[in-house]
Amino acid sequence: MAKLSLWLPPFSPDYSGAAAVLFDLKTVTAMHDGSGCTGNYTGYDEPRWYGSKSGIYCSGLREIDAVLGNDEKLIQKMCYAAEDIKPELLALIGSPVPMVIGSDLSGIAKDLESRTGIPSIGLDTTGTAYYDKGAFWTACQLLDKFAKPMEAEDRRVNILGVLPMDFYKGEDPALLKKRLEQEGYRVGITFAMDYTLEQLKHVGKAQVNIAVSRFGYLMAVYMEKKYGIPYLCGFPAGKKTEKIWLAELEKVREEKRSAVFGIRDRKKESAEAGILIIGEQVMGNAIRTALGTEFGIENITVGCLYGKEEELSGPGDCDLTDERMIKEEMNSGNYVCIIADPFLQCLKRNDEIIFIPCSQYAVSSKLGVGDQVLLLGDRFNQWYEKKRGGI
């Protein structure tokens, strides 16, 4: 019962992250379910869906298919769709029912590839993990199938970890790409929004990978082992912070040594209540670093909704894995201000605590769009000046 939520909605699951990674590619992607999980992704987790031509479909799994394990029906549907669409990739995405009945989606994908001659992948997502893990598993399969080690090109970088669950329609990553180009860098790929399969094949040409989310960090670590590409993990929120971040990027490029931006060796001791930032870990770190650099605020804790990576954590950071833990931390008396998605405000019990809404699509979907924030560079300063109130 620890995972029971009385107030909060379920956050974006692994199958939505997998589908989001495949969204821009010319694929036939089947979410293997009875339409509920597919509808959850297209209706609530994917702001790009309406008006798009993305080839993401539902397998139409029925009770008799689940009982009898009728994989041939799914295979035939995929083959017929491949004949009509002629995609670059066939993909199968799992949901809770295939998990329960033990469907071997990886094995089915191998059968599909043998029959059609089209590269195919099977993703055993279950709906029990969060979107960033599903995105990571999908990205690894894509890299293993299409990308090869290559000689690095001078000042070429990749931006990793871009998903609509974190960045809505991707305006902040687009601004980051433009800023990098102004500094003389070439962006090979913005993964996994607004990219092509051809760009994916050449990810090994980068001198540095820039990880802007936990998904991006997991990818950067994987690619460092696979291709030897060093990474910088962090996002440049704040006007002065942006300059420091660019200097750190150049240092990583020159020294070929990976770095995590903005994690301080120790937190300043203070008896006063501080600030709690709740959300995705890398962007939470970005806000903390900007508050420290731009406004001199030191007593800040990051609460991680989707899992905490120790390498990205500062002292006192917490893993808020369920509603009860979030509520307890928010009302612990340790904070004078909370920065989080507006859906979390209902868990706050002390009216004296300032709540600053900073929405994330993985939590509040289209209902939180009004509180979406652009954090790159000086935009963070402008936002916080408006929202800080009496802090």
What string of pLDDT tens digits covers the 391 residues of the chain? 567 788 999 999 999 999 999 999 999 999 988 888 899 999 999 999 998 989 899 988 787 776 677 788 889 999 999 999 999 999 999 999 888 888 899 999 999 999 999 999 999 999 999 999 999 999 999 999 999 999 999 999 999 999 999 999 999 999 999 999 999 999 999 999 999 999 999 999 999 999 999 999 999 999 999 999 999 999 999 999 999 999 999 999 999 999 999 875 545 555 567 999 999 999 999 999 999 999 999 899 999 999 999 999 999 999 998 999 999 999 999 999 999 999 999 999 999 999 999 999 999 999 999 999 999 999 999 999 998 754 5
What pLDDT, on the 0 to 100 scale, is given for residue 266?
46
Residue 344 in domain:
yes
Residues 127, 133: contact at Cβ < 8 Å? no
Same structural domain for residues 142 and 178?
no
My answer on whether 240 and 363 are in the same domain is: no
What CATH number should be reported for the domain holding residue 19?
Answer: 3.40.50.1980
151 belongs to a structural domain: no
Verify that 35 and 111 share a domain, yes or no.
Answer: yes
Task: Kindly state whether residues 19 and 142 are assigned to the same domain.
Answer: yes
Q: Are residues 256 and 304 in the same domain?
A: no
d(CA 29, CA 221): 27
pLDDT at 264: 59
CB 254 within 8 A of CB 154: no
- Boundary-marking domain end, from 96, 112, 146: 146
Interatomic CA distance for residues 342 and 218, integer angstroms: 27
Structural domain includes residue 140: yes
Q: What is the pLDDT of residue 305?
A: 96
Q: Report the SS3 class of residue 260.
A: strand
Question: CA dist 211 to 37, 197, 214, Å?
Answer: 28, 20, 8
Nearest one of 311, 390, 303 to 354, comparing CA atoms: 390
Q: Could you tell me if residue 1 is inside a domain? A: no
Question: Are both 300 and 361 inside the same structural domain?
Answer: yes
Q: Are residues 216 and 286 located together in one domain of the fold? A: no
Q: How many CA atoms lie within 13 A of 144 on its CB side?
A: 10
Asked if residues 334 and 319 have their Cβ atoms less than 8 Å apart, the reply is: no
Domain region containing 24: 14-146
Residues 227 and 143: beta-carbon distance below 8 Å? no
Structure tokens at 382: 């402008």
Q: Residues 314, 249: one domain?
A: no
Residue 67 and residue 176 in one domain: no
Rounded CA gap, 340 and 377, in Å? 20
**pLDDT recorded at residue 271:** 55
CATH of the domain at 304: 3.40.50
pTM for the structure as a whole: 0.95
* pLDDT at residue 99, rounded to an integer: 86
- The pLDDT of residue 4 is 79
Structure tokens, 156:
């070429």
Q: Are 211 and 190 in contact (CB under 8 A)?
A: no
- Residue 7 within a domain: no
Is position 268 within any domain? Answer: no
Number of structural domains in the chain: 3
Residue 266 lies in a domain: no
Phi and psi torsions of 165, nearest 5° = -65, -25
In a domain, 358, yes or no: yes
- The token pair at 126 is 């279950």
Pair (160, 197) in one structural domain: yes
299 and 204 co-located in one domain = no
Q: Are residues 282 and 365 in the same domain?
A: yes
**How many Å apart are CA 211 and CA 209, to the nearest integer?**
6
Last residue of a domain, one of 146, 177, 201: 146
Q: Is 135 exposed, middle or buried (0-12, 13-18, 19+ CB in 10 A)?
A: buried
Distance of CA 201 to the CA centre of its chain: 21
Separation CA 204–CA 210 (nearest Å): 13
